[in-house]
Amino acid sequence: MNFSRIFFFVFACVVALTTVMAAPEPRWKIFKKLEKVGRNVRNGLIKAGPAIQVVGQAKAIGK
């Protein structure tokens, strides 16, 4: 009798944990925001590349 209660309790715990693990993601998405910041920095560097080259060439000509 005691064994069946323990078995039922363990089974209930397993079912509860599996339903919690299957819950949807939380609303805060830190990694997505961090990825977006990194993407913006990368795109900014790509767009600024030609301008930096022109400034470097002008500096070299000025010397």
**Single pTM value for the model:** 0.42
pLDDT for the residue numbered 39? 92
User: Which domain range does residue 9 map to?
Assistant: 2-62
Q: Which residue has the higher pLDDT, 4 or 28?
A: 4
Q: Is 35 exposed, middle or buried (0-12, 13-18, 19+ CB in 10 A)?
A: exposed
Q: Residue type for 9, please?
A: F
DSSP 29: -
| Euclidean distance between CA atoms 31 and 43, whole angstroms | 18
pLDDT tens-digit profile of 23-60? 566 666 778 888 899 999 989 888 888 888 888 888 88
Specify the pLDDT at position 22: 55
How many domains, in total, are found in the chain?
1
